[in-house]
Chains A and B, each alone.
Chain A
Amino acid sequence: NAGVTQTPKFQVLKTGQSMTLQCAQDMNHEYMSWYRQDPGMGLRLIHYSVGAGITDQGEVPNGYNVSRSTTEDFPLRLLSAAPSQTSVYFCASTPLENQETQYFGPGTRLLVL
């Protein structure tokens, strides 16, 4: 298993541009989540999904959209990037049978100029 994969690893955007951060998992986990981590801070939840076709907002959802058309994929969309969205983004997946453990991807570093 590759686990949780994220692409790209690093991205530079200009203010106002749009982009999609990709997240995929091959462990057939029902739950998936997106977090952001700013320097010196803990992780903050952006959006999450408890299954295909179901998404919900986390602590900091503004400026981000998500969809979950398949169990494997959970892309995060920035419709109009802002400098405040400069951060490291982590995707995580959780199995239904062991909800105590979240498996995190390696992260995407995003710089918005």
Chain B
Amino acid sequence: DAKTTQPPSMDCAEGRAANLPCNHSTISGNEYVYWYRQIHSQGPQYIIHGLKNNETNEMASLIITEDRKSSTLILPHATLRDTAVYYCIVRVAGGGADGLTFGKGTHLIIQP
């Protein structure tokens, strides 16, 4: 699986859009970009994933650059409950039991 690079921490004001970057310059053509988050003392939670097109669901939007070497997770209207560690993961689709490689992620702190 390709490696990812994320900033260790970010702040965002409540109600504003939170934009979390991720670099994955060695991504392969068949690898997807996944985002999970982990709220303090809880298990990780799936947010969104994509291959090359931008994706949106009820939680967030995922913007993937045309060369696929980086992506941005957007939380459109951040709330205090969005304070968490956000993990960007790159891997081949499928094989859902054999593990996701979680790095250290980005600690997003939403400020009131």
Q: Smallest CB-CB separation from B91: which chain A residue?
A: A100
Nearest Cβ in chain A — how far from B29, in angstroms? Answer: 17
Contact at B41–A43, with CB atoms within 8 Å? no
Q: A-B pairs with CB below 8 Å: how many?
A: 70
Interface residue B96 (Cβ < 8 Å from any Cβ of A): yes
Q: A101-B46, A107-B43 are in contact. Are A33 and B97 (CB under 8 A)?
A: yes
Establish whether residues B98 and A102, one from each chain, have CB atoms under 8 Å apart when the complex forms.
Answer: no
Q: Is the CB of A43 within 8 A of B102?
A: yes
Q: Which residues of B contact A90 (CB under 8 A)?
A: 43-44
| B45→A104 contact, CB < 8 A | yes
Docked Cα-Cα span, A107 to B46, in Å, equals 16
A94 to B36 alpha-carbon distance, docked (Å): 14
Chain A: number of interface residues, binned into ranges = 20 to 34
**B43 near A56: Cβ-Cβ < 8 Å:** no
Asked if B95 and A102 make an inter-chain contact with CB atoms under 8 angstroms apart, the answer reads no
- The residue on A at minimum CB distance from B34 is A100
Contact A99 B104, beta carbon cutoff 8 Å: no
Interface string of A13-56 (1 = CB under 8 A from B): 00000000000000000111101000011111100111000001
CB pair A103 B46 closer than 8 Å: yes
Chain B interface, number of residues (Cβ within 8 angstroms): 24
Contacts of A45 in B (CB 8 A): 98-100
Docked CA distance A43–B43 (Å): 10
Min Cβ gap B27→A in Å is 16
B49 sits at the interface (CB 8 A): yes
Q: How far apart sit A44 and B44, CA to CA, in the bound complex (Å)?
A: 13
Judging by beta carbons under 8 Å apart, are A105 and B97 in contact?
no
Question: Which of A42, A94, A100, A105 lies in contact with B104, CB distance below 8 A?
Answer: A42
* Binary per-residue interface labels of chain A (87-113) against chain B in the complex, 1 for a CB within 8 Å, 0 otherwise: 000101011101111111111000000
B99 near A59: Cβ-Cβ < 8 Å = yes
Please provide the chain B residues from 12 to 49 with a CB less than 8 Å away from any CB of chain A in the complex.
Answer: 32, 34, 36, 41-46, 49
In the docked arrangement, what's the CA distance between A96 and B25, Å?
29
